[in-house]
C-alpha cells in the first residue's frame, strides 16, 4: 500500500491542533494509503508543542518536528518536506480552513498519474472584502510579471509525488516563496476546487505587514520586471526632459529669457527625485535578497524531531 506523509506547519495553534487530529483521522480512515502526520512547530510560544507531544503519545502515526525558533511558514513547510520519506507528501494548514476531507480526492488523482494535485479556493468564507481584493490583485500582478504561471487562489494545500517534493527540496534559495517553487518544478499537475471555511479556532497570524513582505518576496523571487520598470520610467523621464529642454531653448531664442517660476522648478526636482528614490528602492530589494543568498546560512535549525512510526493504518 502506498504511503503518504502529511506536513502540517504550526505556529501558536494550541487550540486547533487537537481538532485537526480528529478531523484528519476521520478523513483518512477509508483512504487506501498508509498515512502519517508530521507537525512542524515553528517556534510557538504557547502550548502547541505540548499538544503535539500528547497527540504523539496517544497515536504514534502523529510525529512532530520542533524548530529552534520562529523561521516563518515557508521555512516550516521546507523543514517538513526535508524530513519526509513517503511515496507522496501533502502540505496542509492546521487551522482547518483547508479541509482534510479533500485529501482522499487528491490521492485518487495521484493514483490516476498526476504528480501534483493542488486545491484552488472557489469561495473564501470568513475573509474580509479587502483581503479578497488584495489577494486577487496579488495573483494578477505576479502572473503578469512572472514567466511561471502561479495558480490563482491556491495556497500551499496540495499533494506531491515523491519526485515532485524531492525536486522542491533541491531548491535551497533563502527567500522562499513556496507557491512559486511548487509551480516551478512542473510535472503533471491537476487542479481541484473547494470552498474555504473560516478558521476552526484561534486567530490568523497574517497581518497586512506580513502579507506585504510576502508579496514582495513572491514578486522579487520570480520576476525581474520591476527592475525593467525602473529602467523604462528612467528612459521616459529622460526623453521627456530632453524635449522639454529643447522647448525651453527654442522659446528663449524666439521670445527671450523669461525667468522660470519657482513652483514649476520645484515640481520637476521633486518628480525626478521621487523617480530616482523609487528606482533605488527597487534595486535595494533585489540587492538585499542577493546579500541573504550570499551568506549561505541554513534555512532552518531543528530543536527536536520525533518522527511518527512506520506507516500503519
What is residue 313's predicted lDDT score, i.e. its pLDDT? Answer: 43
Angle between the 129-145 and 208-222 helix axes, to the nearest 10 degrees? Answer: 10
CA distance 14 to 39: 12
CA–CA separation, 193 and 298 (whole Å): 35
**Helix count and strand count (H, E) for the chain:** 10, 8
- Other residues' Cβ atoms within 10 Å of the Cβ of residue 183: 19
36-50, 223-237, 299-313: lowest mean pLDDT where? 223-237
What number is the average pLDDT over the span 230-239? 69
96, 19 Cβ separation under 8 angstroms: yes
The 10s digit of each residue's pLDDT in 157-212 is 889 898 889 988 888 888 777 877 888 888 888 888 887 776 555 555 555 566 55
Grid coordinates belonging to 215: 508579496
Of 92, 78, 75, 16, which Cα lies nearest the Cα of 47?
16
The per-residue pLDDT for 134 is 66
Would you say 156 and 236 are in contact if contact means Cβ atoms under 8 Å apart? no
Report whether 118 contacts 187 (CB < 8 A): no
Residue written as cell 472557489?
122
Q: Residue 39: which pLDDT band, with cuts at 50, 70 and 90? A: very high
Q: Compute the CA torsion angle 20, 23, 25, 26 (nearest 10 deg).
A: 180
Is the Cβ–Cβ distance between 130 and 208 less than 8 Å? Answer: no
**pLDDT confidence of residue 265:** 67
Q: What's the pLDDT tens digit per position in 77-115? A: 899 998 988 889 999 988 888 888 888 888 888 888 888
Cross-sheet strand order for the sheet of 34-41: 189-196, 116-124, 154-161, 88-91, 3-10, 34-41, 62-67, 302-306
**Nearest to 301, CA basis, from 38, 90, 76:** 76
C-alpha separations of 146 from 154, 179, 180 in Å: 16, 13, 10
What count of other Cβ atoms lies within 10 Å of the Cβ of residue 28?
23
Report the Cα 137 to chain-centroid distance in Å.
15
Give the global pTM.
0.66
pLDDT classification of 266: cutoffs 50, 70, 90: low
Per-residue pLDDT tens digits for 132-148: 666 666 666 666 666 66
Indicate the SS3 state at residue 104.
helix
Amino acid at each position: 500500500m502506498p504511503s503518504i506523509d502529511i506536513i502540517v506547519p504550526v505556529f501558536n495553534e494550541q487550540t486547533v491542533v487537537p481538532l485537526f487530529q480528529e478531523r484528519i483521522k476521520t478523513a483518512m480512515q477509508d483512504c487506501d494509503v498508509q498515512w502519517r502526520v508530521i507537525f512542524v512547530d515553528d517556534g510557538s510560544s504557547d502550548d502547541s508543542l505540548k499538544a503535539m507531544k500528547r497527540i504523539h503519545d496517544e497515536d504514534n502515526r502523529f510525529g512532530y518536528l520542533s524548530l529552534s525558533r520562529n523561521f516563518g511558514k515557508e521555512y516550516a513547510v521546507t523543514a517538513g518536506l526535508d524530513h519526509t520519506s513517503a511515496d507522496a507528501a501533502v502540505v496542509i494548514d492546521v487551522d482547518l480552513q483547508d479541509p482534510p476531507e479533500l485529501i482522499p480526492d487528491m490521492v485518487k488523482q495521484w493514483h490516476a498519474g498526476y504528480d501534483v494535485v493542488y486545491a484552488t479556493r472557489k469561495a473564501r468564507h470568513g475573509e474580509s472584502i479587502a483581503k479578497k481584493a488584495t489577494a486577487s490583485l496579488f495573483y494578477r500582478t505576479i502572473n503578469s510579471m512572472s514567466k511561471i504561471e502561479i495558480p490563482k487562489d491556491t495556497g500551499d494545500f496540495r499533494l506531491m509525488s515523491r519526485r515532485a517534493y524531492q525536486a522542491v527540496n533541491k531548491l535551497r534559495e533563502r527567500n522562499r516563496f513556496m507557491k512559486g517553487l511548487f509551480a516551478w518544478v512542473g510535472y503533471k499537475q491537476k487542479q481541484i476546487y473547494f470552498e474555504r471555511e473560516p478558521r476552526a479556532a484561534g486567530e490568523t497570524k497574517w497581518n497586512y505587514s506580513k502579507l506585504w513582505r510576502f508579496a514582495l518576496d513572491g514578486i522579487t523571487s520570480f520576476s525581474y520586471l520591476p527592475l525593467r520598470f525602473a529602467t523604462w520610467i528612467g528612459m521616459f523621464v529622460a526623453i521627456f526632459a530632453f524635449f522639454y529642454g529643447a522647448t525651453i531653448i527654442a522659446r528663449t531664442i524666439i521670445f527671450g529669457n523669461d525667468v522660470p517660476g519657482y513652483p514649476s522648478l520645484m515640481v520637476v526636482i521633486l518628480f525626478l527625485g521621487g523617480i530616482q528614490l523609487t528606482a533605488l528602492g527597487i534595486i535595494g530589494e533585489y540587492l538585499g535578497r542577493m546579500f541573504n543568498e550570499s551568506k549561505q546560512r541554513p534555512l532552518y535549525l531543528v530543536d527536536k524531531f520525533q518522527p511518527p512510526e512506520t506507516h500503519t493504518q
